[in-house]
Structure 1
Amino acid sequence: MADSTAGGPAPYDALLLLSFGGPEGPEEVVPFLENVTRGRGIPKERLAEVGQHYFLFGGVSPINAQNRELLAALRKDFAEHGLDLPVYWGNRNWAPYLVDALRELVDDGHRRIAVLATSAYAGYSGCRQYRENLADALATLAAEGRPEPTVDKLRHFYNHPGFVEPMVEATLAALADLPEELRAGAELAFTTHSIPTAMADSSGAPDDPARATPGGAYVAQHLEVAGLIAAAVAGATGVADRRWQLVYQSRSGAPHIPWLEPDICDHLTQRQQGGADAVVMVPIGFVSDHMEVKYDLDTEAVARAAELGLPVARAATVGADPRFTAAVRELLLERAAAERGEPVRRCALGALGPSHDRCPAACCPNPRAPRPAAAQD
């Protein structure tokens, strides 16, 4: 938190919650997937096939409802702590769209906007692409003759206590869901979204210490969080040598392009063959229990574990946990104090320390071609 919060959120006059979006009915599934894959030339028939994941849940992704819950929790937290700052919400791929949210913000008179993206880590898809989306939306507002606000994206929060501590608690709760005789020997599989290895290698700022490690900042940051949670779980359970591994899920790319591995289902197979008593899946790469958690873990991975006869449990994501909403408030106040030129204490666990406020221009490059991005040096 900032050393001094006397200035409150100034210079910011609004917070924008920026997320991915998702369909809220069967008729929205294919149009939503067309938005997600625009420019890639994927046939509508293939999109309908991919959409079966959504149709299993009535064509409704949980993500919008979860964002509404987080939006309400942030507003409640701000009000309870005397933070007079409105909170808006916009999505990359579905209503409410980002550009519409920015139109509403400027029409309501807001000109300096802090942005919380619901992605905790460095990487093209999780950071720069959101900043490209912001640049596109700002360009649209300018073309419409509307005022163009200043937008600042809040720093990555993967190692903030308000993100890590709820994940520790959720992991312990998942362990407790296993039969008692399996808990001591249960392994931890920390899961996140797989991305192309080339994209992983280039993630982070060029001078980021994490870039010196294999996998760049994306992998290094996930390993940091996994290690923090594993250490806390070891302390709480007294099992110091519990096996854990970072694994991946939700791969969607062409087979000939290398992506981060192992996949969670392959990992479960390998660990069953290796004699694991049980596995707890800990989705550290996701802020809420949206479709990639509900399908890829709760449906697909659980089905694989059942085929293997391997007991599994799944830890909850942070969602709208009060510690996470408090972390967002702290991130906002620390950034506001920094913008005012005041001393700032930045909360971060582990060895990597707090992320930068402003992304360098060369940070997490677009894998296809350079594009304008907002909120950078």
Structure 2
Amino acid sequence: MTTITNGQLVPGATPAAACGPEHVEEPVQYDAILLASFGGPEGQDDVIPFLRNVTRGRGIPDERLEEVAHHYRAFGGVSPINEQNRELKAAIEAELAKRGIDLPVLWGNRNWDPYLRDALAEAKERGFTKLIAVATSAYSSYSSCRQYREDFHIALDETGLMGEIFIDKVRQFFDHPGFVAPFVEGTRQGLADVAAQGIDPVTETRVLFSTHSIPSADAERSGPKERGFDENGAYAAQHNAVAEVVMQGLETPWDLVYQSRSGPPSQPWLEPDINDRIEELAAEGVKAVVIVPLGFVSDHMEVKWDLDTEALETAKEHGMFAVRTQTPGVHDAYVAGLVDLVLERVNGTPKAERPALTPLGPWYDVCRPGCCENVRLGFKPALAGLAP
């Protein structure tokens, strides 16, 4: 049950968002942008400590973590994600400067240096009290939205800054034009690459939109219950809706597939796995696959290992031509789109004036009650949303 304290329904929010509107249409004078990401190791000695952070509270022994560590060790123990976030931060700063917007960008990670608490300490030192967070994740689920909101709450508690620094968060941007544009561009280039091999891009090809698999129980609880999504929740619905936009005007068949499963075999996760689907398509006579990393914003480890290493190898083993298309990275449209999302909140842009390429959006500024529950952990305190 939501507790009302002096009209504050949303913990740690600015006054404009505190009462929990679906879309905040009141201007807010933010002091800085908080770029929030997952984080990753930057050397061999960092790998196991990083994986302990990622799996904290689950009691996974180091020998099991080492089974995942080899993905990072194959790249010298360095995840690409931190350097990509440095580049993204610089690109956002350049876009802001180009528009004449004086809004500093702070960067903090959930699982590695610099941590969210470090970013909040910097905010405190610089006198910033109102932050607008941009998480490097576009879709609705526990791990891609609510867990960030929980970690914002934890960071404010750890630093003792709850009630002194306020954090709002931009809406999930799965169908924002800036996020979708790189996938449209990449998919068309991928199909052109297929045609250049003498393979018919319609009758002999399949486009595979790949995203991170999540537990089926978490998928079912992704997004607000009142939206009436099916058993795979908002998470799958959002991906399917974006894939339909990307494929507009194209005749090539496509599938939504999943990757990077990490749970026990007894626990149902979203399927089909991309490697299993590639094997099935090869048996059906498909000669080429265009792999579109629709669930990811940059070429981090799940893209470099699970797609560029494992999925491409599976295709090669079955005699198929395969190409993996670009992620948004620091694509001009994506960077401009992130700044536009921030300005929606700075300016209090009405919902009717906000761009969204699918009927599902524009998504909520303030997450709705019960959104994206983690079945194993239950509801923990979280910012940028109504309780629970």
- Please give the TM-score of this superposition, normalised by the length of structure 2: 0.89
Q: Percent identity, aligned pairs only?
A: 51
1:221 to 232, 238, 246: 238
Q: Deviations over 1:118-175 (max 9, x none)?
A: 1100010001000000000111122xx6863110010011101101111110112222
Q: Secondary structure, in 3 states, of the residue corresponding to 1:224? A: helix
2:143 and 2:322 map into 1 onto residues whose CA distance is 29
Structure 2 unaligned blocks of 5 or more: 1-25
User: What is the aligned residue count?
Assistant: 358
Contact residue 156 and residue 162 of structure 2 kept, 8 A: no
Distance 2:253 2:384 in 1: 40
Could you tell me which residue of structure 1 aligns to residue 181 of structure 2?
165
Pick from 107, 112, 122: which aligns with 1:89?
107
Aligned to 1:375: 384
Task: Say whether the 8 Å CA contact 1:9–1:332 is kept in structure 2.
Answer: no
Q: For the residues of structure 2 that align with 1:160 and 1:286, how far apart are their CA atoms?
A: 14
Equivalent of 1:199 in 190, 211, 218 = 218
Q: Tell me which of 109, 118, 134 is aligned to 1:100.
A: 118
- Displacement of 1:352 in angstroms is 1.3
Corresponding residue number in structure 1 for 2:23: none
The aligned amino acid for 1:135 is H
Kept in 1, the 8 Å contact 2:210–2:257? The answer is yes
Q: Report what 1:155 is aligned to.
A: 171
Instruction: State yes or no: 1:119 paired with 2:137.
Output: yes
Cα 1:91–1:9 change in 2 (3 A) is farther
- Which residue is 1:273 aligned to? 283
CA distance in 1, matches of 2:105, 2:344: 17
* Inter-partner Cα distance in structure 2 for 1:369 and 1:204: 15
1:177-326 alignment runs, 5 A limit: 177-178=193-194, 179-184=196-201, 185-208=204-227, 211-232=228-249, 234=250, 240=251, 242-326=252-336
RMSD (CA atoms):
1.8
What's 1:4 paired with? none
Q: How does 1:139-150 map to 2 (within 5 A)?
A: 139-142=157-160, 148-150=164-166
Q: How many Å apart are 1:315 and its aligned residue? A: 0.5
Structure 1: which 5+ residue stretches go unaligned? 1-7, 235-239
Distance in 2 (CA, whole Å) between partners of 1:198 and 1:33 is 23
Distance 1:311 1:256 in 2: 34
TM-score, normalised by the number of residues in structure 1: 0.91
1:272–1:335 Cα change, 3 Å: same
Counterpart mapping for 1:24-103 below 5 A: 24-103=42-121
State the 1:198 CA deviation: 0.7
Please say if residues 132 and 170 of structure 2, whose CA atoms lie closer than 8 Å, have aligned partners that are also in contact.
Answer: yes
Q: Counterpart of 1:327 in 2: which secondary structure? A: helix
Q: Which residue of 2 aligns with 1:351?
A: 359
Counterpart for residue 237 of structure 1: none
Deviations 1:284-315 (A, max 9, x none): 00000000000000001111111111111000
Contact 1:191 1:248 in 2 (8 A): yes
For residue 48 of structure 1, report the CA deviation from its aligned partner: 1.6
